[in-house]
């Protein structure tokens, strides 16, 4: 029975090996990391303009 430290070390090496294999495979198939696209800036709804949900109610200004 190997010690816990030896088992952890073995698993870390295996993870590193698999990560390298995966990266090689992805690069062979033309994969590149994609930059994170910023979300479009959606302006807030005008407070006095009725939205789709309350069109059935009479228009009120508080």
For the cut 80, the answer to whether the pLDDT of residue 32 exceeds it is no
Give a yes or no: residue 11 inside a domain.
Answer: yes
Q: What is the mean pLDDT of residues 20-38?
A: 80
Locate all alpha helices (DSSP H) within the chain, ordered by sequence.
Answer: 4-28
Give a yes or no: residue 50 inside a domain.
Answer: no
Tell me how far apart the alpha carbons of residues 35 and 56 are, in angstroms, rounded to a whole number: 43
Any idea which residue has 């062979």 for tokens? 28
Give a yes or no: residue 16 inside a domain.
Answer: yes
Give a yes or no: residue 15 inside a domain.
Answer: yes
The total of structural domains in the chain comes to: 1
Give a yes or no: residue 21 inside a domain.
Answer: yes
Identify the domain containing residue 28 by its residue range. Answer: 4-44
Give a yes or no: residue 51 inside a domain.
Answer: no
Tell me how far apart the alpha carbons of residues 62 and 50 are, in angstroms, rounded to a whole number: 13
pTM: 0.43
Give a yes or no: residue 37 inside a domain.
Answer: yes
Beta-carbon contacts of 29 under 8 Å, excluding residues fewer than 6 positions away, are none
User: Which of 2-6, 17-21, 38-42, 48-52 has maximum average pLDDT?
Assistant: 17-21
Q: Which residue has better confidence, 28 or 19?
A: 19
Q: Binning pLDDT at 50, 70 and 90, where does residue 20 land?
A: very high
Tell me how far apart the alpha carbons of residues 29 and 46 are, in angstroms, rounded to a whole number: 47
């Amino acid at each position: 029975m190997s010690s816990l430290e030896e088992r952890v070390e073995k698993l870390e090496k295996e993870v590193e090996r698999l990560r390298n294999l995966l990266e090689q495979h992805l690069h062979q198939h033309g994969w590149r990391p994609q930059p994170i696209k910023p979300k479009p800036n959606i302006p807030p709804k005008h407070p006095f303009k009725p939205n789709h949900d309350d069109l059935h109610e009479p228009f009120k200004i508080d």
